[in-house]
Chain A
Amino acid sequence: MKKDLREFESRKATIAVVAPHSADKVAAYWKEEGLPMIGLPDPEGTLSERYGQEWKFWKLGRMPALFVVDREGALAFVQYGSSMSDIPENGVLLKVLDGLKGS
């Protein structure tokens, strides 16, 4: 997602990444990697729970999930990953953004 950042920026999209780690860990990682997107530490799982991010005992963790929220606050895209590597291609997301009104 980092490499296609310009594509997202040209669509005026903000990317926010919710991480299940502590604020300190997230801050350090963002600094180290020079990540341009917003990082949201969620160690207590508050955001994760609110958005219904799935977790599985036998895989010992949270499954990835991805949402696109339009300017009016409605969900334009929802994907709950069924495995640890189940994440949509950037092209899919860019098409969703292109289909939004007023973007």
Chain B
Amino acid sequence: MSLPSNATAFLKDAEAIAAAIPDGAALGLPPDYSLVAMAVVRALVRRKAKDLKLIGVPQLGLCADILIGAGCVREVETSAVTLGEAGLAPRFTEAAEKKTLKIVDATCPMVHSGLQATEKGVPFMPLRGVLGSDLVERHPDWKTIDNPYAKGDPILLAKAIVPDVALFHARWADEAGNVWVGRRQELATIAHASQACYATYEELKPGDMLEDELLAPGCISSVYVTGVARAPRGAWPLGVPGAYGIDDAHLMQYAKLAKTAAGFRQYLDEFVRKPVAA
């Protein structure tokens, strides 16, 4: 892939984004509270995506549980996988306990730091704390060094994390290919650090949001955006703050069904395999 993107592709729909994401790709994904591209997640299941690596920035939820349950995932690197108030993520939990999934456990600010290193084009980023956690021993990419500016001061390094694809949902895209995510700035970090970036959006705004001083600070510039596609209510059953909230009842229903493999299949049949109006 080549950086930067000088011509954001306007794709037909969520299916087209799922088709552009290759099997085996490492996807940088936001948590459930931060604009998840659920319509693309469902399309990835329908196109039977394989061997994906999911990087939780900094943690994962419903999207990861569905992709894991549907057999699309080889590895996750994340600080946690949780359905929040709806409890444990059942397909992740079962795959972890049966050891059918590679899990690289992290802690939130180490994920942010690794992506920030990539944003700056440097090989690593130091972070305080964490030393003495078993995470340090297990994580393949973390190293402890002596602070070169002080004696006897060990400090941990996060290796630069480079996702192949950033994937999320935006409130708006515009005709210039910019996307607006408001305060969800972890999405900007993922987009900046990734080799490609695909976003679904609720609505298209005419013109160029970067010309609007009030909208520009919540935008991710098209320089990072490879492709966008319209997906109304594309985050459902998760939410878009200011537009629609998280569908808590649906999450509870999912958590209940996905407890068993049969229940999960029923969920896929009902809400994923056939395209549904959210």
Do A and B share a complex?
no
* A contact set with B: CB distance below 8 Å: none
